[in-house]
Structure 1
Amino acid sequence: MKGKYRGFIFDLNGTIIDDMVYHTDAWFDILVSDLGAKLSYENVKSEMYGKNSELLKRVFGDDYFDEKTIEELSINKEKKYQKLYKPNLKLISGFEEFIDRASGKAIGMAIGSAAIMFNIDFVIDNLNIRKYFQALVSADDVDKSKPDPETFLKAAEQLKVEPSSCLVFEDAPKGVEAALNAGMDVVVLTTMHDKHEFSNFDNIVGFIEDYEDPLLEKIIGKG
């Protein structure tokens, strides 16, 4: 497995940082408390995939909000999330050491996320890891979000690496499906979902809880 991959593509939320509970809390506040949606906390959690605009349309219908309102709600949600999460902002254990090693082995690295760039900037600049990434692909950069492969294919293109030579790091079934559709292998972080939720996919190299897992030595070797 060592030397097989020339590009690493990381999802953001639940993959670089373990922050999904803060997103869920922010969406619950917006959808239920502010907008009156009849959703349980678990219902909100199950709707959290794709772009913010797609989530709002799934919950309320395609024509319930105009585009200006959708944009305002989206930014409001992200501001709530950032306010909740910033005091607890930190990388998943072992992540910076891992990407520093990968960088030293000339592996290209990208972020491919359904987050808007406003959130990607918030994370990578507050944690001072922008220097490691040669490409950033956000919800703002694609027409179709995961499980469509566009996010990961654009990241591979920007890295100038063939999709088959890219390894994706994901935490969600929709993201693993997107990688499968892009022809890419995946390492799954079990921050948000259990292993059994990924049983339909055959592109998974392995499951890890954090970046201190010995599996990663098999992928890039020791220090």
Structure 2
Amino acid sequence: MYERYAGLIFDMDGTILDTEPTHLKAWHDVLGRYGMRYEAQAMASLNGSPTWRIAQAVIELNQATLDPHQLAREKTDAVKAMLLDTVRPLPLIDVVKEWHGRRPMAVGTGSESALADALLNHLGLRHYFSAVVAADHVKHHKPAPDTFLLCADLIGVAPQKCVVFEDADFGIQAAKSAGMDVVDVRLL
């Protein structure tokens, strides 16, 4: 089905790994310490964004005066403490395994590199990918195309010869802006 592509790029959270419930629990726990609330639908609309950007939106919603980068670090620490025990691969990992060695592949994620590497290594999946591009590797995050353009560059494939697998609107927009075809995994 993906024979015509020279490179495959995968989002991580919600695409190849089932991390969303853990991320939401971490937000709930961390925000609870500050008596802050969030709207699940608003959080979902920010999927694919770096954690500090989500923290900034939550801080604005709650009219708080916290540092979004500090709040993001607290949330990331909470996720790390839970994720290694709770996260499992999603069915799309079968596509990764099927194409391993046949096409170069990369992960393009809004997560920080330490978290992405920890998860992929813990689950024994890191070796499938020639490159992992995380939020701390680019200046402009999804919906900007930078994450996926860097993925294509690192795997040595022209953007128009890549397909991106995504589960978030920001990521789909980023892939299209990069000139890549995109598979909305929510429709699979």
Q: 2: CA distance between counterparts of 1:137 and 1:125?
A: 15
Partner of 1:20: 20
Q: 1: CA distance between counterparts of 2:87 and 2:59?
A: 31
- 1:40-119 equivalences in 2 (<5 Å): 40-61=39-60, 64-66=65-67, 70-93=68-91, 95=93, 97-105=94-102, 107-119=103-115
TM-score by length of structure 2 reads 0.88
Q: What is the number of equivalent residue pairs in this alignment? A: 186
Distance 1:27 1:152, change over 3 A: same
Q: 2:120 aligns to what SS in structure 1?
A: helix
Per-residue deviation at 1:178? 0.6
Distance 1:94 1:169, change over 3 A: closer
Structure 1, gaps ≥5 residues long? 191-206, 209-223
Structure 2, gaps ≥5 residues long? none
Does structure 1 conserve the Cα–Cα contact (< 8 Å) formed by 2:47 and 2:170? no
Does structure 2 conserve the Cα–Cα contact (< 8 Å) formed by 1:8 and 1:108? yes
- 1:142-161 equivalences in 2 (<5 Å): 142-161=138-157
Per-residue deviation at 1:27? 1.3
1:165-212 per-residue CA deviation (whole Å, 9 max, x = no partner) reads: 00101111111011010111111222xxxxxxxxxxxxxxxx32xxxx
Read off the aligned partner of 1:123 and give its amino acid letter.
L
Per-residue deviation at 1:55? 1.7
Does structure 1 conserve the Cα–Cα contact (< 8 Å) formed by 2:167 and 2:185? yes
What percentage of residue pairs aligned between the two structures are identical? 32
Per-residue deviation at 1:38? 4.1
Indicate the larger mover: 113-122 or 78-87.
Answer: 78-87
1:40-88 per-residue CA deviation (whole Å, 9 max, x = no partner) reads: 4444444444112212222324x9444xxx4432222122123333323
Partner of 1:35: 34
Distance 1:163 1:34, change over 3 A: same
TM-score by length of structure 1 reads 0.75
Distance 1:48 1:132, change over 3 A: closer
